[in-house]
Structure 1
Amino acid sequence: MGMHGYAYAAATIAVFFCIIHFFHRRLCCKHPLLTDYPILGMLPQLLYNLCHIHDFFTQILKLHGGTGEFTGPWFTNMDYLVTIDPLNVHHVLSKSFHNYVKGPLFRDIFQAFGDGIFTADSQPWKYNRDLFHSLFKRKGFEVFLEKTIHNKVRSSLAPVLDSLHQQGCVVDLQDVFNRFTFDNICSVVLGNDPNCLSVDFPDVAIEKAFNQAEEGIFYRHVVPRCVWKLQKLLQIGQEKKMTKACKTLDQFIHTCIASKREDQRKYKENEKAEADDHVDLLTSLMREEAHEDKFLRDAVFNLFVAGRDTITSALTWFFWLVATNPIAEVKILEELKDKFGNMNEKSSPGVLNVEEVKKLVYLHGAICESLRLFPPIPFEFKQAIEADVLPSGHGVDAGETILFSLYAMGRCKEIWGEDCSEFKPERWISQKGGMVYVPSYKFIAFNAGPRTCLGKDLSFIQMKMVAAFILSNYCVQVVEDFVATTNLSIVLLMNYGLKVRITKRGN
């Protein structure tokens, strides 16, 4: 047989194999969400609709009863079972928690997170969770957090908003929140305020590096693993940007760790007898036990993402919804006036404390409603250890990945009713004026089951303190013709920011 004969035989075998593989996929994929193209799978439709991916998947999942299969290009390990069925969510995140893990693929995609609490499984995860739980519940930490927010609002947020009012210019409110939360999380975690939020809006490389790293992680979700792995090896495209961003982040974090170690050395030399409860989390971690630098680096990175981007996202979407729903704004202001009088009549308007914001039921409901429609983390996925069957009847193979769309769940009428697309804080308030309980597997903005966010209560405290201060003292007006769109990142921020004008609220 000549060379042409061998080539023809090889091509024939390859075509035959591809046909068999194609029909095998068709037979195995019993609940396809999209058209499964030969070789490319369902990726073409995903990429075509990437600019509005969350709304696209919301519509697709509704058409398929809430659960279906997504298959990526052949041999790329991009096959997912996607669901918004709350019973499936409850099964995976709670009832069968030990059978579903983050898994090696998740850790590979979220490499920047290291071995921190968000990527860890089994015993390492439990150790991290118990450690952070003890820090958050420590006597004085809530007081430390409250003091930090008060200082940041008075020293930075108020002057910036006053300056914007005087200038009468358009500002990106999301950028304001990004800077505020970055300064705040630096103070809480590192004990150091970088002063990103000031009237001159300085460029801060570390703040931009976090954004770039998160965009890179999202990119890894929507392109085949072999593609981004190759880009990482060659240091081109999005992976080059991500490598540079992670290097900037690591340098910043390791510098902070070295500085803290020196502070701890001096602390021991001074032989202080009593430990101060009102200290930053990195100091607390170092005092807890002798952790290696890598553990501290991963802990700091995970705390930064949890305490910065999620709060920025929540506040941005909240203020956009309130500004575009004036009735809700009026009710929030009425509640503030009813509880605390005319706060803006004071010569130096203050910030509410922890106990005071806990009294704001309608504001709490409005924030919950914002989180329902725009969850800061729009999707979550888990990997099955052993084969399983979900409550919906869908089978799960060992090693298969299940993806939850939190964004789509917030727009599911089977969960929230026919008015699920409306911003309606009243759905969270009972006839007696208390909060309506919604199971976490239906409202999973803070995850559900054993992995429920440890900082949930702290997050609500921060958001309500900031929201109450701004709304009682300033009017936030969205610029005419502004259209809010979601960005492409692992955290649901606004694409191009939130363009508004700030004016002082009259008496």
Structure 2
Amino acid sequence: VEIEQAKSEFDTQFLAPSIARRQKLIAESKNGGSENLPKDILTELLKNEDSLHLPHEIILKEIAFFLLAGAHTSATAFVRTLDNLFNWLKKHPEDAALITNDKSFVQRAMFETIRLNPSSPTAMRRALSDVTLKSGTIVPKNSTVTIDLMSINRSAEIFGADANEFDPHRQISTPNVAAWGLSFGHGMHACIGQELAAGLSERSEETSDYEFGLATVAVQAMFDRNVIADPSQPAKIDTTTKRPYWGSYHVLFEK
């Protein structure tokens, strides 16, 4: 009920006015001036509305999803990575130079953060055919499997005896395992915004166009400006959700 109410309010207050504005601009652009159209997903959906055959309800769900996946999750990873690095530096002050000079180190810290705290603690998949797992367990066709991401991402067998701890220097010896575990999913259903948020997973050589991801760049930019946690306003956990989100996190920039 709460989700449906929130969707309705989002539609009325934000989406419907945004659609009306873009439809007007799209109509005007047919006489020239398409370069002035907003370059966003909603505009592309509306420009191709006839061929896509998308009802308003589907557009509402898609835009609401992109708002969550494209902003909220990246912002959460950003703050959590800052917090983890603040705590790491208390015990490892020698790594301070790495944060400002080595973007790869910051990216690894962000990977660790996402591994320990995925945006969603579980993932669900439906079997399209009978599947036999490595353990011998048979997953029948059309059955739903719930994956406990919090547990698998902290497996000592895969990530080491200290799998529950944050360690930006962590080395993973298990083949075909991403540094972030299964937080972004895997295969054809992996998060489509993975490279935008977190960058590429492997760096074989120094290249100027290597993608580090938005969260990595933002975190390093904060440390470039000598960011510290505000001691006068301690961070507070969001008590309105069962998920471990920060409700407020104040920082200061030292000169």
TM-score by structure 1 length?
0.41
1:497 equivalenced with 2:235 (yes/no): no
In structure 1, the residue matched to 2:202 is none
Answer yes or no: is 1:317 the counterpart of 2:68: no
1:459 aligns with 2:197: yes
Secondary structure of the structure 2 residue equivalent to 1:399: coil
Deviates more, 1:407-416 or 1:392-401: 392-401
The letter for the 2-side match of 1:296 is I
Q: Deviations over 1:299-321 (max 9, x none)?
A: 21221121122112212321221
Name the larger-Rg structure: 1
RMSD: 3.3
The 5 Å alignment of 1:387-426 reads 387-426=130-169
For residues 279-318 of structure 1, the aligned pairs below 5 Å read 279-288=39-48, 290=50, 291=52, 292-294=54-56, 295-318=58-81
Give 5+ residue unaligned stretches, structure 2.
199-212
- AA partner of residue 471 (structure 1): F
Identity of aligned residues (%): 19
Are 2:27 and 1:265 aligned? Answer: yes
Q: Distance in 2 between matches of 1:334 and 1:373?
A: 24
Name the SS for the 1:503 alignment partner.
strand
Q: Counterpart amino acid of 2:170?
A: R
Match of 1:44 in 2: none
Q: State yes or no: 1:383 paired with 2:123.
A: no
1:62-141 to 2 correspondences below 5 Å = none
Deviation for aligned residue 1:440: 4.3
Shift of residue 260, structure 1, vs aligned partner: 0.9
Name 2:223's counterpart in structure 1: 471
For the 8 Å contact 1:370–1:423, the answer to whether it is kept is yes
1:421-436 aligned at under 5 Å gives the runs 421-428=164-171
| Residues 118 and 183 in structure 2, CA contact (< 8 A), matched pair in contact too | yes
Q: Whose RCO is larger (CA < 8 A, sep 6+)?
A: 1
C-alpha deviations, 1:216-243, integer Å up to 9, x for none?
Answer: xxxxxxxxxxxxxxxxxxxxxxx2x333
What secondary structure does 1:443 align onto?
A: coil
Q: How many residues align?
A: 236
Q: 1:246 to 1:445 in 2, by over 3 A?
A: same
Q: Residue 408 of structure 1: CA displacement?
A: 1.2
Q: CA 1:315–1:338 in 2, change beyond 3 Å: closer, same or farther?
A: closer
Q: Deviations over 1:87-141 (max 9, x none)?
A: xxxxxxxxxxxxxxxxxxxxxxxxxxxxxxxxxxxxxxxxxxxxxxxxxxxxxxx
Q: Does the CA contact (< 8 Å) of 2:22 and 2:43 recur in 1? A: yes
Letter in structure 1 aligned against 2:10:
L
Equivalents in 2 of 1:465, 1:442: separation in Å?
17
Residue in structure 2 matched with residue 25 of structure 1 by the alignment: none
Please state if 1:365 is matched with 2:108. Answer: yes
Alpha carbons 2:236, 2:247 under 8 Å: kept:
no
Q: Which residue of 2 aligns with 1:246?
A: 7
Paired residue type of 2:147: F
Map Cα deviations across residues 411-450 of structure 1 (whole Å, 9 max, x no partner).
11011010111111011599xxxxx985249711111011
Cα deviation for residue 246 of structure 1 reads: 1.8
Separation of aligned partners in 2, 1:487 and 1:407: 20
- The answer to which structure has the higher helix fraction is 1
Distance verdict in 2 for CA 1:482–1:276, change over 3 Å: closer
Cα pair distance change 1:393/1:462, threshold 3 Å = same
Give the TM-score, by structure 2 length.
0.77
Aligned-partner SS, 1:323: helix
Secondary structure class of the residue paired with 1:497:
strand
1:449 maps to 187
Q: For the structure 1 residues 442 and 458, does the alpha-carbon distance in structure 2 shift closer, same or farther, using more than 3 Å as the test?
A: closer
- 2: CA distance between counterparts of 1:446 and 1:389? 23
Cα distance in 2 for residues equivalent to 1:454 and 1:411? 23
2-structure distance, mates of 1:245, 1:259? 22
Whether contact under 8 Å (2:125, 2:146) holds in the other structure is yes
